[in-house]
Chain A
């Protein structure tokens, strides 16, 4: 496909902005359209077409139809509250936003591919889980947390769209927790905290993804979309204790029942909302995913291993 025209939702967030920069400087991409309710970095706004619109309202359709995009990157999926995305709106943004976006895509004759920045949270963190979740394992366990249910609903919507439009290649990237020095998510705050609160007696196997690799995987999926879900994660599943030792982060084990209240108290003292449940579960039971499909079919290889990603996010290694 020559002269790709790409629409990126949530272009003002960390992933959207960086992906838009990458695609704008790609010779194979003719046009990048960014959608967000929030203001886009002016430097980036000069290089792409920005549409100030709310995904949840249908007023986006005319602008997109005029741009005749062939690829939609659905990146406006929020796990944690962020500027312009308060806590109470997260479910609406994730589910209603996706619904409206797909409704708009229905009437887009030029559309060839949809790439969704999903999450490996859909698998949950379970004590009796497969050590390496494969893409077919999404319905193995009940969806326990709010974000898990959002992602489950979202994947169901995308799956239904893919069945109705066989000509459109729908890719859902299931990202393991993303860490990076510039990211301001609860996961990254946890990694950078003076001491990392772990759960006493639990040493989960964790697997992360560097922010650079998250953007790289999105870019790869735009250029080479594959059908269905693809796990995206760094090489190496390591125990949390070893990962923290490697990153020179001191861990403070807190007994299970006290962990939630103490961490919430520390966060509210720092003016932060409580941690979502999936992080507590991840720190108990962890999660590993199988990345065969990412390597073989998507053809993407992350540059940083789990240990390197954590080291970079914690500021230990460049």
Chain B
């Protein structure tokens, strides 16, 4: 009886935790840094790139936050683009874990309620760049996430997710990842490369006031700034990587 109006089900999340922990520690051996940058209360918008493809990026970000005891009473909610909510089983599991369709109004409402929201403004594009461009970020939407943060006054926390690293093994896995996948209703977890998650310092936007959301110049400027911060974190993580496997 603890499910909320969004369909987030803490009991289900607790039941699924061991499975997500196994993916986190054994499959991807995720290393997460900079968790102290995530505000421990009040609304906040985490803006991350996509490395493993949704919904796995979101699941691992949420798992990192949970394992490090960030906001134990208010687990992160994450925005999911496109197909997953059409699928049987996946739609139910995502919703119960805190997933919300990336539709206008949803993120704004979550922030207004004071939640921590994980967003992936690259959308579907981020998951499939060519191998050579795989660490270059795609354009972050049209800055909608900045408008959102401005309207709600929530700080933006840039976050970089890096999967894999240099070397032959990584090339092979990237090739495997592009093979046609069986049409299963559940998204298959991508290759077991080593992951790094790095949160950056929050960017406060509340001083601009909610009306600044209409200011295109400011929105684009902030959007570029967030993109640069995430990209910088991606490169940092690549420099400090410990091998793809």
Contact = CB atoms under 8 A, between A and B. Distances in A.
B5 interface: yes
Interface in B1-23: 1, 3, 5-7, 9
By Cβ-Cβ distance, the 8 closest A-B pairs, closest first, are A201-B88, A127-B85, A127-B86, A201-B89, A130-B105, A203-B92, A128-B101, A130-B103
Given A205-B7, A242-B3, A288-B5, A130 B91 contact: no
A14 interface: no
B105 A201 contact: no
A128 B82 contact: yes
B100 interface: yes
Interface residues of A, number: 23
Nearest to A133: B105
B102 A128 contact: yes
A129 interface: yes
A256 interface: yes
Interface string A177-212: 000000000000000000000011111010000000
Nearest to A242: B3
B109 interface: yes
Nearest to A288: B5
B25 interface: no
Contacts of B87: 201
Contacts of A238: 3
Contacts, number: 65
Nearest to A134: B105
A274 interface: no
Interface residues of B, number: 25
A299 B104 CA distance: 27
A127 B91 contact: yes
Contacts of B88: 199-202, 256
Nearest to B186: A201
A180 to B, nearest CB: 23
Contact of A132 (B9, B82, B105): B105
8 contacts: A128-B82, A129-B103, A131-B109, A201-B91, A202-B91, A203-B96, A239-B7, A285-B85
A123 B74 CA distance: 30
Interface string B77-103: 000001001111101100110001111
B40 interface: no
A129 B101 contact: yes
Contact of A236 (B5, B82, B103, B185): B5
A247 interface: no
A237 interface: yes
Interface in A105-154: 127-132, 134, 137, 140
B118 to A, nearest CB: 16
Given A205-B5, A238-B3, 12 more contacts: A128-B101, A128-B102, A130-B106, A131-B6, A131-B103, A131-B109, A199-B88, A201-B185, A203-B92, A236-B5, A242-B3, A256-B88
Contacts of A203: 92, 95-96
A238 B104 CA distance: 21
A130 B104 contact: yes
A308 to B, nearest CB: 14
A199 B86 CA distance: 13
Contacts of B1: 242
Nearest to A255: B88
A202 B96 CA distance: 12
